[in-house]
A and B are shown apart, each in its own frame.
Chain A
Amino acid sequence: MSWKIYEFLVRPNVGVMEVWLKQARIQKRAKDLLNQKLDLLEQLGLELPPGLLAGPIDGHIYKLRIRAQRVQLRPLLCRGPLQNNSEFTLLCGATERDDELVPTNVVQQAEQHRQIILADPQRRRCHEHDF
């Protein structure tokens, strides 16, 4: 069974990942690896691939782990939140340095985004990996 990947919309038609990748100036190779790991998540979910996800942190938030050459990408996501057994939603972009997430308040921000989606499912869209 494959999973569906959604992403939080920061505003109409603007996905949170697109904004983060530009702001954080994530390099192309890291983005390419991010796409590959997202495809793996879409195909296999969270049970089989070891080390793909870490968490949950604070109840619902998971880190997607991508190790590129100079940067550790840690986009935050949750199961569901509408269909917990068939979908994931990307909530915030983040990196990790010395075991600390950057930005430091990103987990709280991700939870806020999750709550917004629960209140208004239109605040997300299918993630197309188009970065």
Chain B
Amino acid sequence: MSTIFDRMRQSFPDKDYRHTYANGLVDSKLATQLKVLREQRGWTQAQLAEKCGMQQARISVLEDVNYASWSISTLRRIGKAFDLWLDVEWKEFGEIPSTLQNMSRETLERESFDNDPLFHEEVAAGDGKTHDNEFQDTMSMVVSSLRIHTRRKSTSLPNQNLELDFGPAIQSPNNVPAQVKITDTTHKGEIRYEGRVGSEQRPAA
């Protein structure tokens, strides 16, 4: 029995096929994530509709893998109701197999801003002798980017541990390299991180 990937390799050289397939996958994923996010919050379609300023029937139409008329403004409106931001980008077709295979309730769930650990957990500062707010902000932005990237890959790389040495590219105010340890601690792709800032001297060259 052939795998999904085998079939894609066979069929995707046909340009019309791969674009129809990809569009169908995006539509399916959006509808599925809409349902997953609503259920994650324990909301009915009517409750979500009220928060979006829409009719319940409209949510019902959108929560269908066959719905194919998404608009960015509608998606943003729904994103605001969930307190999430919308990311739109072009991708290579080579990402389709992993996109499909990584689709699950766990990988589609997202936390609203109020539950986002990045904004509501203290950055552990190690022995934190020399950190300042500006550097903390820089680190938070880097960690945030990595967190989103890691979440996207989380299913295929469960429990990964990444140790990152920012080296000379990002330095603490005292020109001491910072180290941030990124650890994927759950199967949901959520991560915890701990930063160690400015407490060590750069090793002598």
Interface residues, chain A, with chain B CB atoms under 8 Å away: 4, 28-29, 32-33, 35-37, 39-40, 42-44, 48-52, 65-67, 126, 128-129
Contacts and interface: CB of A to CB of B under 8 A. Distances in A.
Q: Nearest 5 CB-CB pairs, A to B? A: A51-B64, A36-B24, A67-B66, A32-B20, A126-B1
Nearest to B17: A32
Contact of B35 (A4, A40, A43, A50): A50
Contacts of B2: 128
B15 to A, nearest CB: 11
Interface stretch (B100-108, B125-133, B167-175, B186-194): B100-108
Main secondary structure of the interface of B (DSSP, over half): helix
Given A40-B65, A50-B31, A50-B32, A35 B100 contact: no
B45 to A, nearest CB: 10
B48 interface: no
Interface residues of B, number: 28
A129 B34 CA distance: 28
Contacts of A48: 32, 35-36, 103-105
A52 B25 CA distance: 12
Given A35-B21, A51-B63, A43 B105 contact: no
B40 interface: no
A29 B66 CA distance: 14
